Amino acid sequence: MINVSIVGASGYSGIELLKILTRHPQVHIDRLFANTSAGKSFAEVVPLFTKTLDKTLESFSIKAIKASDVVFIALPSGEALNLVPEILMSGKRVIDLGGDFRLKDTATYERYYKRPHTAEKDLREAVYGLPEWNTAKIKQAKILSNPGCYPTSVILPLAPLLKESIIEPKGIAVSSLSGVSGAGRSASVEMSFGEVNESVRAYKVGTHQHIPEIRTTLEEISGKPISFSFVPHLLPITRGIYTTIYAILKENIDEQKILAAYEKYYSQAPFVRYSASAVPEIKNVTGTNFIDIGFRINKDDNQLIILSVIDNLIKGAAGQAVQNMNLMFGFEETGGLII
């Protein structure tokens, strides 16, 4: 049994973490932090937990986590920079759901996240938490950087195909559509019902902060330089990501070779499902930690079309974070995550 605390417990990712962790057989919820709601009962702020989680929200302090084994940080990017160094110095392990420790190059971080990186020492120690590809390092991690939601939906379908030279590493095109919960729980006009309903729009075209995360991770896994375009879109739904990827096939590649690549790397991965026939749908992964992957070959143009779906709040955030926690503490990888 481990003691777990959450910073940012009242945000979307924090709430999803608690849904999972309260049913985890080897977890005790220690402290919940949410500065703007400090002093209120958690059930008052999130009525879903009435009679199931009797905790009071607090302002974060190092003293308050003295009994915790691991601290989840479920805050917007930039906030963890102020917290992680002190938490690590206190001997606690950290799982950060934001983007502050995903990019090893601080200049790239500063370019895409528009702020200086102030925790370079801890950045060097951070482990990128993609369980299907980085298990050994995750098990030893003191500071774990949880992957972004869009990168999860892109990297997992592409990595086996690039590593096995199934597709060309140049000219990959990615189009992703996300529900509005990906923007977080804070109110804003552009995320209001009247603005997003009955519409779809692209945003941060060519400048999205997940672009370098996708690139560096795929290049590290495949050992090849890659070039790709990435266009994210906002969908008028609450949760879910639908990603479509277009890539050029190497010569003499058929369906069986593609399936063999996925089988080689994901046959033992508990949350990766792949098929040559089924077309993935968001509704089939909503509320789960699964990624569903499908594909079609366009023989006329020697092109591969890959489709993937995840729940951005689970496999794209809280679920993957718990999957990483399970590996870090030697639990079953699926602990708390199978409904």
> Residue ranges per domain, the chain?
2-146+316-328, 149-312
Residues 16, 28: contact at Cβ < 8 Å?
no
Q: How many CB atoms lie within 10 A of CB 118?
A: 14
Given a cut of 60, whether residue 183 has pLDDT beyond it is yes
What local confidence, expressed as pLDDT, does residue 197 receive? 86
What local confidence, expressed as pLDDT, does residue 204 receive? 94
Average pLDDT over the chain reads 95
- Please compute Rg for the chain using Cα positions: 20
Question: Class of the 2-146+316-328 domain?
Answer: alpha beta
What local confidence, expressed as pLDDT, does residue 186 receive? 63
Given a cut of 60, whether residue 317 has pLDDT beyond it is yes
DSSP per-residue codes, 6-34 = EETTTSHHHHHHHHHHTT-TTEEEEEEE-
| Cβ-proximal residues to 280 (8 Å cutoff; 6+ apart), any chain | 242, 292, 293, 294, 307, 308, 309
Mark whether 149 is an active-site residue. Answer: yes
pLDDT in tens, 165-180: 999 999 999 999 999 9
| Cβ-proximal residues to 123 (8 Å cutoff; 6+ apart), any chain | 100, 101, 104, 106, 117
Residues 259, 191: contact at Cβ < 8 Å?
no
pLDDT in tens, 230-281: 999 999 999 999 999 999 999 889 999 999 999 999 999 999 999 999 999 9
What local confidence, expressed as pLDDT, does residue 35 receive? 86
Q: Which candidate in 127, 141, 149, 322 is catalytic?
A: 149
SS3 of residue 240 by DSSP: coil
Bridge partners (DSSP) listed for residue 145: 96, 128
Per-position b or e across 192-206, b if 16+ CB within 10 A of its CB: eeeebeeeeeeeeee
Strands (E) in the chain, as ranges, are 2-7, 27-33, 57-58, 70-73, 93-96, 127-128, 143-145, 172-178, 201-202, 228-234, 241-248, 272-275, 291-298, 303-310
Q: What is the mean pLDDT of residues 137-144?
A: 98
Assigned token pair, 320: 């993957």
List, in sequence order, the alpha helices (H) in 126-237: 135-140, 149-163, 193-196, 211-222
What local confidence, expressed as pLDDT, does residue 36 receive? 87
Assigned token pair, 77: 């990017």
Question: Class of the 149-312 domain?
Answer: alpha beta
Sign of the CA dihedral running 278, 282, 285, 289:
positive
Given a cut of 80, whether residue 129 has pLDDT beyond it is yes
For the chain, percent of residues with pLDDT exceeding 90: 93
Return d(Cα 317, Cα 149) in angstroms, integer: 6
Bridge partners (DSSP) listed for residue 306: 245, 295
